[in-house]
Amino acid sequence: MILELPWRDPQDCFAALAPEPYLAFLDSAAPRDARSRFSYICLDPFKILRDAPLEALARELASHAPLPGPLPFMGGAVGFFSYDLGLALAPVPSRHANPSNLPDMVIGFYDTLIGFDHAARRCWLIMRQRPGQDGAQRAEALRLRLERKPAPAALPKLHWRADMSRGEYIALVERVLRYIRAGDIYQANFTLRHTAARPAGLEPAALYLALRAASPAPFAAYLDCGENLTLLSASPERFISLGADGGIETRPIKGTRARHADAAQDAALAAELGQSPKDRAENLMIVDLLRHDIGRVAQIGSVRVPELFQVESFASVHHLVSAVTGRLRAGLGPADLLRAALPGGSITGAPKIRAMQIIDELEPCRRGPYCGAIAWIGFDGAMDSSIIIRTLIVTSSHVLMQAGGGIVADSQPDAEYAEMRLKASPMLGLCGG
């Protein structure tokens, strides 16, 4: 069943449906970004994979026929792959325990969703017939749920605690620089975690809406992963997209400047970023790494770099972004592409394996979902995904947030600490933190 609905703001629909278990909101929340055309609210999954092999994901996707329709995603898999899953795929042994017992993968399979085309201001209910269920009754029940108008939930204060002091962070950046000078690596992405005890009465959906307002992003997402885990993401970064025709694109971010309230100074900061030798070198290293990752599964000769060192502007920062494209080899699918590319090169470093080893040595805890990927994968084999950055991880007892940056030979430790704080500031400022 494909039923066009009267246009509704996706945010309002999300607020009405947020209590639904395993709800996934893939939210194109940056209104002036060309990639912010489509949003999806997926609910009532018919199957959940938790910490399953990628082969199980591929088998389940292959067992369902695609549904043609007006949107790029018409049903399929939605969920996340953790950074630590990428370590295991590499494989890179980790010294870190998992005290919160967070899963490395949670994927729901959805045949019920509401899709939004922001450009056309049209939306549709997509619902496949399930054996023994009345499709019309299911659609009417969903329509009634959409009529909910919940009162805005209060946001209790979050009290953040960093896992290390400014001095400890700077000292570890110096250790990364020593590895670079010794020739171990060219670059490593080093990060710091902040933790807040989850206050009584905190509603993840209300916290997500506050994050969305503070930091609208083209790859924003809300994932209820069950078992007291919810991801609230304001990611600006595409990880990998895959067309049903096999076309691949990844858009790594490396290079950051703060936005400025004065338009002339803001433009000057953007221009300075675009010409910065340090940031361009950092970006180029990751472009080369991703060319290699994609090349492992792409048709020979198909890998290209159509965009290099483009400045893109977001709510609080400018970023330096490039694009790498290719075409997937015949006989391979989304799971093969994920296996080749996880975790994303922009949040590891180069060379990738050695950078991940050094990150595991120096960072004091596992990353978990942070720096992994959120993805939708259609039954037709198409996929889009984001890097899990600018993200709050809500568990039964805590709210976790992590930020960092790429360290290269000419990095200045004080400046790297300031960049980390800049990226973290929209999240640290939520709920009076």
Select which of 60, 203, 254, 312 is catalytic: 254
Other CB atoms within 10 Å distance of the CB of residue 356 = 24
Predicted local distance difference test score (pLDDT) of residue 133: 79
Mean pLDDT for the chain overall: 94
Task: For 2-148+159-432, give the CATH class.
Answer: alpha beta
- 286 Cβ partners below 8 Å, 6+ apart? 187, 252, 254, 322, 345, 346, 350, 406
**Residue 28 scores a pLDDT above 60:** yes
Mean pLDDT over 76-99 rounds to: 96
Between 131 and 221, residue with greater pLDDT: 221
Predicted local distance difference test score (pLDDT) of residue 432: 63
Mean pLDDT over 209-215 rounds to: 94
**Residue 221 scores a pLDDT above 70:** yes
Burial zone of 112 (CB within 10 Å; 0-12 exposed, 13-18 middle, 19+ buried)? buried
∠331-336-341 over CA atoms, to 5°? 140
Predicted local distance difference test score (pLDDT) of residue 252: 92
**Residue 148 scores a pLDDT above 90:** no
DSSP string, 276-331: -HHHHHHHHHHHHHHHHHHHTTBPTT--EEEEEEEEEE-SSEEEEEEEEEEEBPTT
**Residue 305 scores a pLDDT above 90:** yes
**Residue 139 scores a pLDDT above 90:** no
Between 134 and 185, residue with greater pLDDT: 185
Predicted local distance difference test score (pLDDT) of residue 286: 94
What phi and psi, each to the nearest 5 degrees, are found at residue 407?
-100, 125
Predicted local distance difference test score (pLDDT) of residue 30: 82
Mean pLDDT over 235-261 rounds to: 95
Mean pLDDT over 367-392 rounds to: 98
Select which of 203, 237, 363, 416 is catalytic: 237
Predicted local distance difference test score (pLDDT) of residue 369: 98
Q: How confident is the model at residue 158 (pLDDT cuts 50, 70, 90)?
A: very high
Dist. CA 206–CA 18, nearest whole Å: 9
Q: How confident is the model at residue 134 (pLDDT cuts 50, 70, 90)?
A: confident
Decide if 237 is catalytic: yes
In percent, the amount of the chain with pLDDT more than 70 equals 100
Burial zone of 275 (CB within 10 Å; 0-12 exposed, 13-18 middle, 19+ buried)? exposed
What b/e sequence results for 118-135 when a residue is b if at least 16 CB atoms lie within 10 Å of its CB, and e otherwise?
beeeebbbbbbeeeeeee
Q: Which long-range contacts (CB under 8 A, 24 or more apart) does 166-174 make?
A: 166/417, 169/417, 169/420, 170/413, 170/414, 170/416, 170/417, 172/362, 173/407, 173/411, 173/413, 173/416, 173/417, 174/413
Predicted local distance difference test score (pLDDT) of residue 172: 98
Q: How confident is the model at residue 433 (pLDDT cuts 50, 70, 90)?
A: low
Is the separation of the CB atoms in 236 and 253 below 8 Å?
yes
Predicted local distance difference test score (pLDDT) of residue 129: 82
- 290 Cβ partners below 8 Å, 6+ apart? 250, 252, 324, 341, 344, 345, 346
The sign of the dihedral angle between the CA atoms of 86, 54, 323, 216 is negative
Predicted local distance difference test score (pLDDT) of residue 141: 86
Decide if 254 is catalytic: yes
**Residue 40 scores a pLDDT above 60:** yes
**Residue 431 scores a pLDDT above 80:** no
What b/e sequence results for 77-89 when a residue is b if at least 16 CB atoms lie within 10 Å of its CB, and e otherwise?
bbbbbbbbbbbeb
**Residue 107 scores a pLDDT above 90:** yes
Mean pLDDT over 324-349 rounds to: 97
